[in-house]
Amino acid sequence: MYRLFVAIDLPEEIKNAVEGIAGRDLAGARWVPREQLHLTLRFIGDADEKIFQSAKNALASVRGTPLFLTMKGVGHFPPVREPRVLWVGMEESGYLRDLQNKIEQSLINAGIAADERSFSPHITIARLRETPLAEVASLEETHRQFSAGPFPVEEFYLYSSSLTREGAIHRREAAYRL
C-alpha cells in the first residue's frame, strides 16, 4: 500500500530562506524537516499497486513548460479555528495553476477520484498542536513581508509517504520533466 502525493521540490536557497522562519520558539510547533519541504500539487492518498501504476503512468502524459515561482507571505490553516498548519504562501501563478489542473485531469482520466479541495498553493513549514493563536499571529506579523525567489521549476515528482512515530518519510517514486 502506498500513500501518494505529487509535488515540486524546493531549491536549497529557498529552503535556506524558509529556515529563517522555521525553528522559531513556537509552542506546540513540529517543524517540517528541511529535506521534506515541498509544494504539494496533488495529494492522492492511500493507493494499492494498481492505483500507484495508474497514477505513475498518467502523470507521464502531463505536458508543460518550465516556470518560475516566488514564495510570499506566511499564514496558517484553518483560518478561523485553532491553527493546525503553518505555511509559506506562493505568489499567484497562472502557469502553476495550469500545471496543477493538468495533473488533476490526468489523474481523473486514470480513474483516480477528483480532489474535493480547491488548490491552495503553499509550503507547509510546521504542524501545530495547541499553539496559541496570539503566538501564530505574532510570527505571521513578523514575517508578513516574507518573499523568496523567483526560482525555476523544471520538473515535478510522484512521492510516496510512510508515516512513522518520528514523522513522515518521503520517497521519490518518479520524476516528470516539464
Cell matching residue 41:
500539487
Q: Choosing from 38, 76, 143, 170, which is the catalytic residue?
A: 38
d(CA 34, CA 50): 31
d(CA 173, CA 37): 17
The CA-to-CA distance between both ends of the chain, in Å, stands at 28
170 is catalytic: no
143 is catalytic: no
Q: Choosing from 76, 122, 143, 170, which is the catalytic residue?
A: 122
CB neighbours of residue 113 within 10 Å: 10
Amino acid at 168: A
d(CA 151, CA 139): 24
CB neighbours of residue 69 within 10 Å: 21
d(CA 29, CA 144): 19
Q: Is the preceding omega at residue 78 within 30 degrees of 0, hence cis?
A: yes
Q: Among residues 27, 104, 93, which one has the least CA distance to residue 65?
A: 93
- Catalytic site positions: 38, 122
